[in-house]
Structure 1
């Protein structure tokens, strides 16, 4: 069992997982649910954990996007500095 599957199976605290581990755990849950061979109660538990993993991954992606800077070019096309990714301009 890889780290993502181990984390999903053991119920480890999601906040302690790396983005990659959380994504792998989420993918494993999706595969299990898509197979359709999981009992209903376990499916609900898996779905709930999957939603928590999805929210954690989205929060990390949002935080990463906020840190991305784009290069600002002046009238002559030369780089004049940087500004936040989501800033107007």
Structure 2
């Protein structure tokens, strides 16, 4: 775990962690831990956060940063496969 979800910060935009947490019906500290990658949200919480931020809840469970460009993703995928 322990991977910062920079894409989540991108989707949050000008909203505060407190605002997103309140709208998602979770504690701000829980949201902070999710955003920092210290915790993974349950599916139910991921869906609520996704709804609040207008992003696909499944992004929480993907290894690739969803705001990367296509070429960046292809490079990352290529380097992952070359290490296997």
TM range (shorter): under 0.3
**TM-score, normalized by length of structure 2?**
0.25
- Higher fraction of strand: 1
